[in-house]
Structure 1
């Protein structure tokens, strides 16, 4: 591995691990409050399992490079996720805010994985390509599902508001 490519790859892996730690916290908090939206809850719960696997894959990639995760980054992202979840929980349109935030976050994750996959060659870690591509595909599927369901979730929210009035 070239030093610059290796350093960038390892930093990217650590950042991605912190990112997935944040995603896990967000989904755990959100899933606790989604009983009125069973389809969204099921999808979030399923993606939470994927996220746990993504964390494991990232840890394996770091270990293969002789590196470890960043506890500081992981903790910081976890705290941020819980703060965001608390802020959204106070809003009457929590489901909408979460849907928009999840849409943005999934696309952020996609970009991070695309960057890591691009670095595999220059960093000399071709063995990391397949697990990172697996995570990328999982994020792309989740982003597509969210995007395809924004209107549906919005209309379900609107109907619940109408019934409560």
Structure 2
């Protein structure tokens, strides 16, 4: 097995950081669209608003790491991911069970972000980018907490949806 070069690890790490930055921009687009439409799920709206603030902090941490490496985020990746996030949110908005689809997607998305940060932490450690590790770990903990929150509230969201739908009320959002 060939030994990996420090430059190779750095390059992979920078690409991962740029991807994570774009991913967080996508998350903002998705959450902001969802918040606009949430009427009957105040707990979900409040948690999403809180996570928007966390996500803005995650973006700042990623930019801090990139700057420390004399790199910047990719505007093209950010724009593409943001557009994809808006399209995903719009796709769910026409579904009769929008809140359920959003909850499923949010759970998957949060766990994807958890995996991304775990991988970035591994890269940072392997590449000797020690100052990045605490910043990435802070973001990882926020993503784990959000994934756990979505999982813990899925049954309550489903029950509320069923109750509203059964009574003829607007249940989808």
Deviation at 1:121? 1.9
Which one has the bigger helix percentage? 1
1:36 aligns with 2:40: yes
SS in 2 for 1:164: coil
1:19 aligns with: 23
What's the RMSD between the two structures over aligned residues? 1.0
- TM-score, normalised to structure 1, is 0.98
Q: Deviations 1:45-100 (Å, cap 9, x if unpaired)?
A: 00010000000000000000110000111011001011111110011100000000
Q: Deviations over 1:78-134 (max 9, x none)?
A: 010111111100111000000000000000000000000011122221000001000
Moved over 2 A (4+): none
1:46 matched to 2:50? The reply is: yes
1:18-58 Cα deviation digits (max 9, x unpaired): 00000001000000011210000000000010000000000
Measured in 2, the distance between the counterparts of 1:35 and 1:133 equals 33
* TM-score normalised by length of structure 2: 0.93
Q: Which ranges in structure 2 are unaligned for 5 or more consecutive residues? A: none
Alignment of 1:2-151 (within 5 A): 2-151=6-155
